[in-house]
Chain A
Amino acid sequence: MTGGDIQFDRQGRLRHLLTLEGLSRQTILEILDLAESFISVGEREIKKVPLLRGKTILNLFFESSTRTRTTFEIAGKRLSADVINLNVNASAASKGETLLDTVRNLEAMHTDLFVVRHAESGVAYLVASHVPAHVHVINAGDGSHAHPTQALLDAFTIRRHKRAFNNLKVAIVGDMLHSRVARSQIQVLTTLGVRDLRVVAPKTLLPLKVDRLGVRPFTDLHAGIEGVDVIIALRLQRERMHGALIPSAQEYFDLFGLTPERLALAKPDAIVMHPGPINRGLEIDSEVADGSQSVILSQVTNGIAVRMAVMALILGPSVEARSG
C-alpha cells in the first residue's frame, strides 16, 4: 500500500511534495522561510541563483494550466535548472500509452524532478510510487485531492500580511467539494495553528463529513465571514450548474458572491484571496477582486518564491550546504 510517508526519505527529508497531509509545522515553516529568502531574487536585475544548475525539471501537465505551469517554469529557471514543459493532454494518452509508461519514458531521459498535474485525484502518488529513488515529484494539482504549492503560497501570503496564525479567523468560500486547493489550504492552515477555520457553501458543494477535516461548515455567507481576518474565494466551475449542484450563476452570486457590502462584514483589515482564475461576477465582484483588500496578484508573485523554495528543498543541496 502506498502511504503518506513516501513523501519522506529514510532520513526524514522531503523527497516528494504530494500533499500537505503529514507535513510538520516545522517543515512548512522551513519552506516559508526559504521562500522569504527567494523573494528578493525576483526583484534583482539578474533573477537567477545557481542552486539547481545541471538539474532537469519536467513540467508534466496532463491537464491544462497557465498560471501554475508558468510559475513552476519561472521558479525552476530562476534556480538555474533546465525546465521542459510537456502537455500530455493530447499526445501520448490518445495513442493509448498508459500514464506510467509515459512517465517511464520521460524518466529514461534523466529527469530529476517531475512537476505533475492531472485531472484525477491520486495521480501524483501513483507517479511518485513508481519512480526510482533519485527522481522527485511535486504535485501541481491532482483532481480534487491536493494542490500543495498553491496552499503553501497562500499561507505565505497570509503570513506576510498577518503574522501569527493561531488567532486568525479564516473563511474559505465556495466549491469546496471539487477543490484541491481548499483541501490543501485546510491542511496547511490547521497545521500552522489556525483554530477558527470555516468553509462556506451550500451543502451540495461541501463534502459530507467536512467537519472531520477540522473546519466549521457554514451555509450562510454572512454568518460565515463575519469578523474574519482572511477570506479565500474559490473558483466555481460553470459546469456545476449541470449536475444539479446549484440552480444558476445568478442565484449563486446572490447568495455566495463576494461583494463590497459583504466584505464589510469581515474585519476592516481583512484580506481577500483567490487561487485563480477568477470568474468575475460569479464568485467575486470585480470591485472586491481589484480592491485595496485584495492580495490576489501578490499570491501569484509569491507563488514563484514558494515554488522555488519547494524545488530547492527537494532537489537542492542540503540545508547545511545552502547556509554555508
Chain B
Amino acid sequence: MKLLIHNGRVVDPLHGVDAVRDLHIVDGLVVAPARDFSADEIIDASGLIVCPGLVDLRARMRDPSPGHKATFESEGAAALAGGITTLCCPPDTEPVIDTPAIAERIRTRSARTLPAVYPLGALTRGLGGQQLADLATLDRAGCVGFSNGLQPLRDAQVQRRAMEYAASFGLTVFLHPEDAALRGNGVVHEGEISARLGLPGIPEAAETVAVARDLALVEYTGARVHLCQLTSLRALEMVSEARGRGLPVTADTAAHYLHLSERDIGFFDTHCHVRPPLRSLEDRDGLRSALRDGILSAVCSDHQPHEPDAKLTAFSHSEPGVSGLETLLALMMVLVEERQLSLTAAIATVTCGPAGLIGIDAGHLGSGALADVCLLDPGCRWILTAEGMISRGRNNPFIGREFGARVVRTLIAGETVFRLDAAGASYLSSANTR
C-alpha cells in the first residue's frame, strides 16, 4: 500500500523540515521521497500543513474508572479530531496504575485506529505517598515515567527515596509541584481575582515552594525529573536557573495556561476552574516566553473530561479541569498567528518535544517512522461549540471562541482515522464510532 500526501507544507521539527513537498508512505511507514513513486492513493494536501501526529503528554481518558465521565473510545475519537495520535495517561485512574496488570491493560487499549497510549506509573502505591510502587516492574510493563498524579508527596523523605530509587534505574519522575498546605482549600490564584470574588486563593508560593524542594532533591539525588504544568513566572525562572546549572530537569505546561489568566474567571466561570489555577497576565506572558526560550519543552492538553454537573455548581465545589484534546493544536496555532511562536516551535512542543521526554519513537516524520500524520488547514476559521465537541466532556473554556486553523485529517500508520467533512462537521472512521 503506497500513499502519497501531495504538495503540503511539511513541518517536521525534529528533522528541521519546513517545506512544501510530498510525503511518501509505504505500508504505514514514512519512506524517503523517491522520484518514481507510484501511489495507490493520493491525498491532496495543497494549502495544508502536514505535521507529525501530536503527542499529548497528559490526557485523562477516565478509563479505567467507574464513573460516567468518558471512555477510552469517546476520548480516543476526540484526540484524533485534535490531531493527537499518541498520548500519555497519568496514573490517577481507578484503579490506580500501580500494578503491571493495569499498565498492560492501558497499553493494549491502543488499537490500530485509536491513539497509542503510554501509561505513567504510580510513584507510590495507590498514590498514597507512603510506600513506593514497584517502579522497575511497572517500567517493564510499559510505563514511560512515574508520577503521583495530583496527590502531592507530603513527606519529603518519601519523595527523596522515590527519586533515588528511580534514579537507580534511569527512570523519569514526573512531579506536579504544589505544596498541599499552602494550597489549602484554595481554588483560584491568590491575587486580584481572589480579592474581588472572595474565593479562597492558592498563593504562587504553593508552586515555588514545591519547585524549590523538587529542585533541591534533583540536585541531591541526581534523579531525572519532569515538572508538570508550571503556571508561574517565578517557578519558570527557578527551572531556568537549575537547567543552567546542568540539572536534569524539564518542564511543561498545558495549553490553557498560555491563553487564559485569572481574569477570564469573570464572574465565577467554572470552566476556568483548573488546578493549578490560572494565574496573572504576567505569569501567562512568562509562560509564553519560556516556550520561546525552550524552558518548557512540551505543551499538553491536560485533558480532563467532566459530566455537566461537575461544573454546574458553586465554583469551589466544581471539579477542576478542561476537556482539551480538541483545542490543543488550535491553541498552539493561535500563538503562531499572534507571532508569539514560530510554526516549527509550536509544532515541536506538541510532537517531538513530548516524545523526547518519554523516550518514544513518535512525533516525527523521518524515514522509517510510523506514518502518524496530522493535516492542518491554516486558513480554516471555525468556532468551537459544545455540540461540535467529540469528547464526552464539554467543559472547555474556549467554547464560543473563533480559531484560525483546524485539523482536517488524521492518520495513524498511514490509515485515515479522522476526517473533517466539507460542511465542517467531523466524522469518524467506522472503527471509532460506537
- Which positions in A face B, CB cutoff 8 Å? 1-4, 6, 18-19, 21, 98-100, 118, 120-123, 125-126, 130, 143-146, 178-180, 183, 207-210, 212-213
Q: In chain B, what residue has the closest Cβ to A208? A: B190
A209 touches B314 (CB 8 A): no
User: Given A145-B197, A209-B191, A209-B195, does the pair A3, B267 have CB atoms closer than 8 Å?
Assistant: yes
Interface residue B203 (Cβ < 8 Å from any Cβ of A): yes
Q: Which of B197, B199, B264, B271 has the most CB of A within 10 A?
A: B197
Bound: A209/B191 CA distance, A: 6
Q: Does B16 contact A (CB under 8 A)?
A: no
Q: Which 9 A-B pairs have the closest CB atoms?
A: A144-B198, A122-B268, A120-B314, A207-B195, A145-B198, A122-B315, A1-B269, A121-B198, A212-B192
Evaluate contact between A118 and B314: CB separation under 8 angstroms: yes
Q: What is the minimal beta-carbon distance from B394 to any residue of chain A, in angstroms? A: 14
Q: Does B161 contact A (CB under 8 A)?
A: no
Given A98-B313, A99-B313, A207-B195, A121:B268 Cβ within 8 A: yes
Residues in B whose Cβ lies below 8 Å from that of A180: 198
Chain B, Cβ-Cβ closest to A182: B198
Q: Which of B53-78 contact A (CB under 8 A)?
A: none
| Given the contacts A121-B314, A122-B315, A2 and B269 also touching, CB distance less than 8 Å | yes
Contact A121–B199 (Cβ < 8 Å): yes
Q: Is B340 an interface residue (CB 8 A)?
A: no
Contacts of A130 in B (CB 8 A): 312
A126 close to B199 (CB less than 8 A)? no
B244 an interface residue at 8 Å Cβ cutoff? no
Docked complex Cα distance between A120 and B400 (Å): 27
Given A209-B195, A213-B195, do A121 and B190 touch, yes or no (CB 8 Å)?
A: no
Q: A121-B199, A125-B267, A125-B268 are in contact. Are A208 and B191 (CB under 8 A)?
A: yes
B309 near A: Cβ within 8 Å? yes
Q: Which residues of chain B are near A120, meaning CB under 8 Å? A: 314-317
Across-interface contacts of A98 in B (CB, < 8 A): 309, 312-313
Please tell me if the beta carbons of A208 and B201 are within 8 angstroms of each other in the complex.
Answer: yes
Contact status B268-A2, CB under 8 Å: yes
CA distance A250 to B196 in the complex (A): 30
CA distance A1 to B400 in the complex (A): 9
Interfacial chain B residues near A4, Cβ < 8 Å: 266-267
CB distance from B71 to the nearest CB of A (A): 24
Residues of A close to B269: CB separation below 8 A: 1-2
B375 smallest CB distance to A (angstroms): 32
Please tell me if the beta carbons of A213 and B198 are within 8 angstroms of each other in the complex: no
Q: Which residues of B contact A146 (CB under 8 A)?
A: 198
B interface residues, Cβ below 8 angstroms from A:
190-192, 194-201, 203, 264, 266-269, 271, 309, 312-317, 397, 400
Known: A1-B269, A2-B267. A99 touches B314 (CB 8 A): yes
Min CB gap B193→A, angstroms: 9
Q: Is the CB of B314 within 8 A of A123?
A: yes
In contact, A126 and B201 (Cβ under 8 angstroms): no
State A130–B294 Cα separation when bound (angstroms): 44
Q: Which residues of A contact B264 (CB under 8 A)?
A: 1
Task: Write the nearest CB–CB distance from A17 to chain B, whole angstroms.
Answer: 14
Q: Is B266 in contact with A1, judged by CB distance below 8 angstroms?
A: yes
Interchain CB contact under 8 A, A126 and B198: no
Complex Cα gap A273–B312 (Å):
37
A98-B309, A120-B315, A121-B315 are known contacts. Are A207 and B194 too (CB-CB below 8 A)?
yes
Which among B194, B196, B266 has the highest number of chain A CB atoms within 10 Å?
A: B196
Question: Is the beta-carbon distance between B267 and A122 smaller than 8 angstroms?
Answer: yes
> B195–A212 contact, CB under 8 A?
yes
Please indicate the chain B residues that have their CB under 8 angstroms from the CB of A143 in the complex.
Answer: 198-199, 314, 316
Among the interface residues B199, B271, B314, which one has the most CB atoms of the partner chain A within 10 A?
B314
What's the minimum C-beta distance from A166 to chain B, rounded to whole angstroms? 23
Closest partner residue, chain A, to B272 (CB atom): A1
For the complex, give the distance between the alpha carbons of A146 and B200 in Å.
14
Most B CB contacts (10 A, CB to CB) among A4, A118, A145 go to A145
Choice from A2, A178, A183 contacting B196 with Cβ under 8 Å: A183
In addition to A145-B197, A208-B195, 10 A-B residue pairs with Cβ atoms within 8 Å of each other are A1-B271, A100-B313, A121-B198, A121-B314, A121-B316, A122-B316, A126-B312, A180-B198, A207-B194, A213-B196
Instruction: Using A98-B313, A208-B194 as known contacts, say yes or no to A122 and B266 having CB atoms under 8 A apart.
Output: no
Which partner residue on chain A sits nearest B264 by CB separation?
A1
Interchain Cβ contacts under 8 Å between A and B, 24 examples:
A1-B266, A1-B400, A2-B266, A2-B267, A2-B268, A4-B266, A4-B267, A98-B313, A118-B314, A120-B316, A121-B199, A121-B315, A122-B314, A126-B314, A143-B314, A143-B316, A144-B200, A145-B197, A178-B198, A179-B198, A183-B196, A183-B198, A207-B201, A208-B191
Q: How distant is the Cα of A230 from the Cα of B124 in the complex, in angstroms?
A: 57
Q: Which residues of A contact B201 (CB under 8 A)?
A: 207-208
The CA-CA distance from A118 to B314 in the complex, in Å, is 9
Nearest chain A CB to B85 CB, angstrom units: 32
Q: Which A residues are CB-close (under 8 A) to B266?
A: 1-4
Chain B nearest CB from A244 CB (Å) reads: 10
> Cβ of A122 and Cβ of B196 under 8 Å apart?
no
A183 to B197, CA, bound (A): 8
Residues of B close to A123: CB separation below 8 A: 314
Residue of A nearest to B194 (CB): A207
Q: How far is the CA of A19 from the CA of B314 in the complex (A)?
A: 16
In the complex, residue of chain B having the shortest beta-carbon distance to the beta carbon of A210: B195
- Please indicate which of the listed interface residues A4, A98, A120 has the most CB atoms of chain B within 10 Å of its own CB: A120
| A265 CB, nearest partner CB in chain B, Å | 27
Q: Are A145 and B191 in contact (CB under 8 A)?
A: no
Determine whether the beta carbon of A208 is less than 8 Å from that of B314.
no
> Are B314 and A145 within 8 A (Cβ)?
no
Q: CB-nearest residue of chain A relative to B184?
A: A243
- State the CA gap A1–B200 with chains docked (Å): 20
- B322 CB to closest chain A CB (Å) equals 14
| A19 to B267 alpha-carbon distance, docked (Å) | 10
Which residues of chain A are near B198, meaning CB under 8 Å? 121, 143-146, 178-180, 183
Report the bound CA distance from A144 to B315 in whole Å: 12
Chain A: minimal CB distance from B181 (Å): 10
User: What is the CB-to-nearest-CB distance from B266 to chain A, in angstroms, rounded to a whole number?
Assistant: 5
A144 to B194 Cα, complex, angstroms: 10
Which chain A residues border B397 with CB–CB below 8 Å?
A: 1
